[in-house]
Each structure stands twice: as C-alpha cells, then as structure tokens.
Chains A and B, each alone.
Chain A
Amino acid sequence: MSSPEQWTHPEPGAGPAATAAEPTPEQVIAGLRATTEGGAELTQLLTPEGERVASAQFDPYVSDIDDEALRNLYRDMVLVRRADRESNAMQRQGQLGIWVPLLGQEAAQIGSGRALRPSDMAFPSYREHGVAWTRGVDFRELIGIFRCSDHGGWDFKHHGFHPYTIVIGNQVLNATGYAMGQKFEGKVGDDNGEATIVYFGDGATSQGDVHEGFVWSAVYDAPVVFFCQNNQWAISEPTERQSRLPLYQRARGYGFPGIRVDGNDVLACLAVTRWALDECRHGNGPVLIEAFTYRMDAHTTTDDPTRYRLSDELEEWKLKDPIERVRAHLARGGGADQEFFDKIDAEADSFAAELRDFVFNMPDPPPERIFSNVYAEPSPVLEAQRREYLSYLEGFAGSEH
C-alpha cells in the first residue's frame, strides 16, 4: 500500500500506476486510511483486543494510570455513551429538536479532555459532549442547546470550556487568539504553564479559518493543541474529499508537529494529548493531533447515513470500539471484576433516567429571553421592541394564545 510519502519519493517498482505527481484515487484513499489497521504512524497503547502496547515516548505520560484510574476512564466513557444514547432516543421521541451523536468518539474525547488541567481552556465544536463532561459541564447544562431552549449557558470561565461553535472552523481561530493571550500574559514556559485545546472535525480542515489558525499559532508560538477528530465523515463527505494527505501531516507545512493517535484508544489519546499540552505549557506549541476514529452513528439525527456509507465500514469499526477494549484490558488483567462493570452499568442507567427526567420537565424559556443579553449595554431600540412585544402579548392574557 503506497504511503503518501511515496507520492513524492516513489519507491522503485512500488505499486502500480501512480506517478510521483499523481497518485491514483485508490492510492489517495489508501494513504488516508492506511492506519485503519494500525500502521506504523498510529500511536496506540491499547489494541482493539485490549492488549497494552509499550511506547518509549508515551508511556511516561500515563505512568500514573493504574487500574483505578483506568476504571475511572472506563466509567467516563460508559456514562457519556449512555447519556448520548439517551439523548438520541429523546430526540426520536420529540423531546429534543436535534441530537449530535458522539458514539464511537468517547475515547478521543475522554482521553483528551482528561489530559487538561483546570487552568487550561478548551474550545469545542458541537459534538464534544464527552469533553464537556471532563470539564465538569453536566449534560443538563448542554442539553438545552439540543432542546432548542437555549444556546448553551454554562459558565465557560469556571469550566474552562468555551461555548459550542456550530459554524465550521470558527473556533479554531478563537482558540488561537486565546492561546496567544496566554502567551502574552506570560503564562507559558514551565511545568505550570497554561495551554489551550481546540476541537474540530476532518471536514473542518478545509475551512480557511482552520488554515489561518495554523498560520497564526505558528507565527506567534501560541500554546494551542489542535485536536482534530477524524471520524472519517463530514456529513456525507469522506475524508478524501478534504485532503490528499493524512491530516496530521499537514502540520509540517505550517512548521509544527503533527501526530496521529488511535482515537479509539483512551489511553493513547490521554498520553498524546498530555504530551502535546506539555509542549504548549513549555512554550513549544502549537501541536496538531489527528485522532483517528469513527462516527458510529449518523452525523446528526436529521442525517441519513445509509445514503452514503457502506455498512461494512461500520461493522469493521465496531470491532475497534473504544469502550470494549478498556473493558477487555481491565477484565483480562484483573483490574476490574464483573461486579465493577455491573455497578457502572447501574450508575449509567440511573444517570440516563435522571437526564430523561430532567429533559421531560424542562421549562420553555420566557419570551423576554429573546431580548436579553443581546448587548452588554442597553440598546434603546431593543428596549422599545421588548416593551412593545410584551405588551402585545399581554393583550392575549387569558386567551388561548
């Protein structure tokens, strides 16, 4: 299988058809996907079968992860998945306007999120419910977005978790600016340094904002970790519709390191993100991480993946489930027994039930909400509109309106 390197330095006699300048479409796809089988470029610490793989570079970053810590990561992933599945079901029942599933991306999100310190800042896209969890943002705080009753109201400074961003790529520049601020305030340079992480998808890498974020962060040495969850699809468009090159390799062109991690391996995601954040804390950022993972559900509840996706692909990825491999590892090494797994399942059940209860009883926002917080300072035009509309509504008081 031809690696992208060979497009520019072809091995004599390697493979058919490709010339240095022009790989065949099959080779482009093969290059982008070469690591689905766990190629040399993929950082992995736990195989899909749950076997621990040694890594001289990354083991030190998870030396503190004993069985208990691993059980906690397992718990994170199970609870987040259960909340995700429950939310998906609630959308089907008309309780949520839309849901954006994270199924399959639990390890990428929990691993990277748990690598952060309270003083770090995370800029999510719109699928980062697992990262939100690691930042202490409760599902109840973000589900209003999907019930369409608010735009997300958590205290972002307290949580170190920026509001969700739906416009693809916007947050990458925002994060870069934030990281520049950390640098300008002298908060980088040693073990106690601060860092920023920003999440985006493989599709997003085509947006100008993302490229500009790469350029700016490089030019200003901003302490920012670009965390790309390559879940293989941007709605119906596969990664090869965005790039000829494995995404992590793009970093080199901007002058900073890029690394591809097995996004279904929570331990590797934790280790690699800790390493990257560490680079940033010490003033050696930015870093691009490509977490190689898979969106096991639809893009959103309004999407129909049967129109574009092969079911074989899904079946193949199910074998790499991020939760199952931790479970297998814990069970095999005696790190957890059946009682533990049952306890977590029970906890997940009640967590989901509480969430459901919360959503079903969630009040609608009052009409005043339309007018509040548009500006930090009062606007006379808006104040007049607010008064006029509320008095119009009062005209219906007592009627059925």
Chain B
Amino acid sequence: MAAPVKAKADGATGAVQNLTIGKAINLALRTAMEANDKVIVLGEDVGKLGGVFRITDGLQKDFGEQRVLDTPLAESGIIGTAVGLAVRGFRPVCEIQFEGFIFPGFDQIVSQVAKLHYRTQGGVKVPIVIRVPFGGGIGAVEHHSESPESLFAHVAGLKVVSCSNAVDAYWMTRQAIESDDPVLLFEPKRLYHSGNLRAEVDTTAKPAPLHASRVVRSGDAATLVAYGPSVKVCLDAATAAQEEGTSLEVIDLRTLSPLDLDPVFESVRRTGRLIAVSEAPSESSLTSEIAMRVQQECFYSLEAPVLRVTGFDTPYPPAKLEEDYLPDLDRVLHTVDRSLAW
C-alpha cells in the first residue's frame, strides 16, 4: 500500500495530482481537516485500519484519535452523535462501512439530520457529511452491493450527491464538508481503486457546483443519464455505439437531491430520446422521477418513451448473478436500440 498522499495548502506536493477516486477522497478529507480543526471523521474501523476500503488511510495517524474516531459498532450512534457534535459546532464526516448497513442509522438520518434545521426554523445547522460506499460489482455477500440512494433522495432536508470520477470525488467531498446542510455522498465502491479512472485532480481549480449535473459526452441520437458507477457503463456504451455510427450524449447527474435536470431537458429536446441508467431497483426510484419530469418538460420533443436500464425490483441477488442484475453495456445498447426503433 502506497504512503498516504500528503497535500499541503501551499502546494508542496503540487496542486495537480494524479489520483484514483479513493485517493482523491482521502486527499479531500485530509485537506479539509488541515483547513478546519472542527472537521472530524467518525466511523467503524476508520482509524488504524483506514476503513475497510482504506479511504481514511493515514488520517488517524496524522490527526489523532479525537479527530478520527473508531466508533463503537453502531450506525445510529455514529449518525446520532454526529448530530450533537454538529450542534456543538463540529463538522462531522461519517463513514458508513457499506450501504447495506446504513439502516440502523436511518432513523437518525430521517428524523434528526434531515429535519433539525427546519424544526428549529433555521436555528440549528446540520453540517454533517455521510459517506456511503454503494453499488455492486464487487462479488460480495448480501448487504454489500445495494443502491438505496432513492430512499434518501426522497427525504426532504437531505442533500444527496454521487461521484463518478476522481475530480468530482475530491471536490464533492470538500464541498459537502463545507456545506452547512447535511450531505449524503454516495461513492461508487467498485471504482475506488480503478486505475482506469485515475485523473489529474487540480486542487486549486474552481470546482463545478456541487448541485449541478453535467454533460460528460455529447451526442445527438439519444441521451443517457446516469450517476455514480453507471456513468462509466454509459460512457463505455457510448464509445461502443459510436463505432457503429450512433452518437450518444451522456449526462452525469452528480446531484440526486436536489435533482438538476435542466441539462437533461436541454439534451432531450435535441435528441428526442432518453434512457436513464441506475443500479437501483426501478419502482418508485430516482429514475422514476427523472422519467416523470422529462415527460412533463419535454413532451413534445420526445420521439420515444423514456426508457430505463436498472437493477430489478428484487433484493440484490447472490453475487454470482450480479452480471445479470447490473446494467451493463449490452443492456444499455439494447435499450438504446429499442428507443431508436420507436
């Protein structure tokens, strides 16, 4: 394992670093902790072990046990105490080990994290970040591959974002920590250490706004919209389609709540076709919301109904079947064909 990346505000290691998504989040946490001693990291195994994905690697060594807390094993405890710490003026960054284990903390998220600002008529700010590794494709046992983000997007008072590349991973983490609102950051766990997604992260550049979606590839035959791990699937599908002469536009949603659909509307008005891609089950989900809003805003531009490629409405299956369950390039292209054939 490489030594933790040390960034200095003065740019001692250079403002531009070539990082994986995992290392980019680590650097963002480190930078935020250096800049503000009220930023603390808490979660299970985040200290000595550096988290089960090593995202917090080296932080406890450098910032001590009071800034990087190996907490007792209780998610309600992690999130509930973060609320109190936030009320006291801290900026807690909670790590949930796997998305499937966020539910013991769901009550605190829904009842307190999301509502405290509203209930106190703005009297209490809740600058909490909850980092959630999510999604499948790692061949894991139950509860380690799910995509529960729609459940949180549905809760008023929470901001929910998801990164798909190292630059966003860095900046979304920093912006989430700086935000005075609670932010859930859904991190595509299977891409954490992907060498292919290494990118030049310029820590001095002006970042994209946290709550804005973005066109990541332009095209005119149909629009693909996705977030998190599915963005890469869509980009790969667009590359494959291009070889056959079909040009696909790909939009990375980035922000799941609030949803920024303006770039999607604009794109669909040009392409006339939308395919929403997500690993989550489809019923009553983010992709449902996207489809509804697009038909409302782009009704006269649509050449085909909005289609989806998603996980099925089943619990996540045994991992030997995840290739069937997860949207892959073939299923995306198949759905593009269906849309084009309309």
Contact = CB atoms under 8 A, between A and B. Distances in A.
A365 B318 contact: yes
Which one of B76, B104, B141, B142 has the highest number of Cβ atoms from chain A below 10 Å of its Cβ? B141
25 contacts: A97-B139, A97-B141, A146-B141, A147-B320, A148-B141, A149-B318, A149-B320, A150-B318, A166-B143, A167-B101, A169-B104, A204-B73, A206-B77, A208-B74, A208-B76, A208-B77, A209-B104, A234-B44, A235-B45, A237-B72, A364-B321, A381-B313, A382-B312, A395-B334, A401-B330
Interface in B7-64: 44-45, 47-50, 52
B72 A167 contact: no
Contact of A374 (B74, B315, B319): B315
A168 interface: yes
B262 interface: no
Interface in B303-337: 312-315, 317-321, 324-325, 330-331, 334
A360 interface: no
Interface string B51-90: 0100000000000000000111110110000000000000
Nearest to B97: A235
Interface in A206-242: 206-209, 234-237, 241-242
A369 interface: yes
B172 to A, nearest CB: 26
A369 to B, nearest CB: 6
Interface residues of B, number: 38
A204 B142 CA distance: 18
Contacts of A235: 44-45, 49, 52
B45 A237 contact: yes
B340 interface: no
Nearest to A237: B70
A207 B104 contact: yes
Contact of B314 (A303, A371, A392, A395): A371
Interface string A143-173: 0111111110000000000000011110000
Interface in A124-142: 126
Nearest to A381: B313
B49 A308 contact: yes
Contact of A241 (B70, B314, B318): B70
B100 interface: yes
Interface residues of A, number: 49
B103 interface: yes
Interface of B: 44-45, 47-50, 52, 70-74, 76-77, 100-101, 103-104, 139-143, 283, 312-315, 317-321, 324-325, 330-331, 334
Nearest to B53: A302
A392 B321 contact: no
A142 B136 CA distance: 22
A207 B320 contact: no
A168 B70 contact: no
A322 to B, nearest CB: 25
Main secondary structure on B side of the interface with A? loop
Contact of B73 (A203, A307, A393, A401): A203
B139 A206 contact: no
B317 A369 contact: yes
A336 interface: no
A365 B71 CA distance: 38
Given A167-B143, A208-B76, A369-B317, A389 B324 contact: yes
Given A151-B142, A365-B321, A367-B324, A236 B76 contact: no
A192 interface: no
Given A208-B76, A235-B44, A382-B313, A98 B140 contact: yes
Nearest to A362: B320
Contacts of A242: 72-73
A385 B76 CA distance: 35
Closest 7 A-B residue pairs measured CB to CB? A148-B319, A206-B72, A236-B49, A203-B73, A149-B320, A308-B48, A206-B74
A224 B325 CA distance: 39
A56 interface: no
A1 interface: no
Contact of B331 (A148, A236, A303, A392): A392
Interface in A181-208: 203-204, 206-208
Contact of A236 (B48, B104, B330): B48
Interface string A285-322: 00000000000000000111001100000000000000
A369 B321 contact: yes
Nearest to A149: B320
A297 to B, nearest CB: 16
Main secondary structure on A side of the interface with B? loop
A308 B60 CA distance: 13
Contacts of B72: 203, 206, 237, 241-242
B320 A370 contact: no
Contact of A148 (B52, B71, B139, B143): B139
A370 B312 contact: yes
Contacts of B70: 236-237, 241
A35 B74 CA distance: 26
A237 B100 contact: no
Contacts of A148: 139-141, 318-320
Contacts of A371: 312, 314
Contacts of A379: 313
B122 to A, nearest CB: 30
A374 B314 contact: yes
Contact of A307 (B49, B104, B312, B320): B49
B52 A151 contact: no
A385 B139 CA distance: 23
Contacts of A98: 140-141
Given A370-B314, A396-B330, 5 more contacts: A98-B141, A151-B142, A208-B104, A367-B324, A370-B321
A147 B143 CA distance: 15
B141 A166 contact: yes
Contacts of B283: 381
B104 to A, nearest CB: 6
Given A97-B140, A148-B140, A385 B73 contact: no
Contact of A168 (B73, B312, B334): B73
Nearest to B314: A374
Nearest to B144: A166
Contacts of B48: 236, 307-308
Contacts of A144: 318
Contacts of A146: 141
